[in-house]
């Protein structure tokens, strides 16, 4: 079934590096986070499959994976509906992220770790590059990789998984509007600034930037109407 123009999502064509199921699930998570896939809307596996250029089976399997994560819910004989998050949900997710990420990142600040931070600079630059060209899915993908890899330096695998799960549940409804206004690039560059502070051993500066960054992101989450 071919999608109509108004139903078509800006999804990538999947390749062969991962299983089709994994690639589709990854792309759909990014589309959920950016708001490309909207809350309350029912999406059909065959329609999405046509956009991905694959059969409906890996798309249906990927959507079932997302349903297990609570990101979508199955609608009998129709497809899958994107789960809605309330303002309270977003506030609580923000609070958890702040409690975990701010002190953890601040503790990483150490000149002795400069080489480890430099390994993350290409990913931080990818975030900026994606913001500059307005590629929201690439922006979200690089942003998640950056923050997860940064937190991994703390050596707590359980903490990393908690944050990864929180980020899967994020909804950056205002990302497109922010990009259109040219403000996304400034947010993207904060990742490079954070690496500079961490490499300089500036724990206080890293903590302030991280706290502001998370609050900034909460503002993007709230922009449902933009």
Chain segment 155-203, per-residue pLDDT in tens:
999 999 999 888 877 777 677 777 888 888 988 999 999 999 999 999 9
Q: What is the mean pLDDT of the chain?
A: 87
Distance, in Å, from the CA atom of 167 to the CA atom of 161, rounded to the nearest integer, reads 10
pLDDT for 180 equals 80
Give me the residue spans of the domains in the chain.
Answer: 20-82, 87-222
pLDDT, residue 171, reads: 73
Residues in contact with 16: Cβ distance below 8 Å, sequence separation at least 6, in sequence order: none
pLDDT along the chain (226 residues), means of 10: 58 62 89 84 93 93 91 91 86 91 98 97 97 89 94 97 86 75 88 98 97 80 46
pLDDT at 6: 52
> Do the first three CATH levels of 20-82 and 87-222 match, i.e. the same topology?
no
pLDDT score at 175 = 77
pLDDT of residue 184: 87
Say yes or no: domain 20-82 is CATH 1.20.1250.20. Answer: no
Buried b (16+ CB within 10 A) or exposed e, 124-144: bbbbbbbbeeebbbbbbbbbb
Q: How much is the pLDDT for 165?
A: 87
pLDDT computed for residue 155 by the predictor: 97
Q: What pLDDT, on the 0 to 100 scale, is given for residue 74?
A: 92
CATH number of the structural domain 87-222: 1.20.120.530
């Amino acid at each position: 079934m071919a999608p109509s123009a108004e139903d078509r999502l800006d999804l990538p064509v999947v390749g062969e590096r991962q299983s089709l199921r994994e690639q589709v699930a990854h792309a759909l998570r990014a589309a959920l986070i950016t708001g490309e896939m909207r809350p309350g809307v029912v999406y059909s596996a065959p329609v999405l499959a046509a956009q991905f250029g694959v059969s409906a089976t890996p798309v249906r399997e990927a959507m079932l994976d997302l349903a297990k994560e609570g990101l979508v819910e199955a609608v009998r004989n129709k497809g899958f509906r994107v789960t809605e998050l309330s303002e309270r949900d977003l506030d609580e997710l923000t609070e958890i992220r702040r409690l975990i990420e701010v002190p953890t990142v601040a503790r990483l600040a150490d000149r002795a770790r400069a080489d480890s931070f430099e390994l993350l600079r290409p990913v931080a630059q990818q975030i900026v590059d994606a913001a500059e060209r307005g590629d929201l899915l690439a922006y979200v993908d690089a942003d998640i990789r950056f923050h997860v890899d940064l937190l991994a330096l703390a050596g707590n695998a359980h903490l990393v998984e908690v944050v990864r799960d929180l980020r899967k549940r994020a909804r950056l409804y205002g990302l497109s509007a922010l990009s259109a206004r040219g403000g996304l690039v400034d947010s993207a560059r904060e990742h490079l600034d954070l690496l500079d502070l961490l490499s300089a051993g500036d724990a206080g500066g890293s903590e302030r930037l991280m706290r502001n960054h998370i609050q900034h992101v909460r503002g993007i989450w709230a922009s449902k109407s933009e």
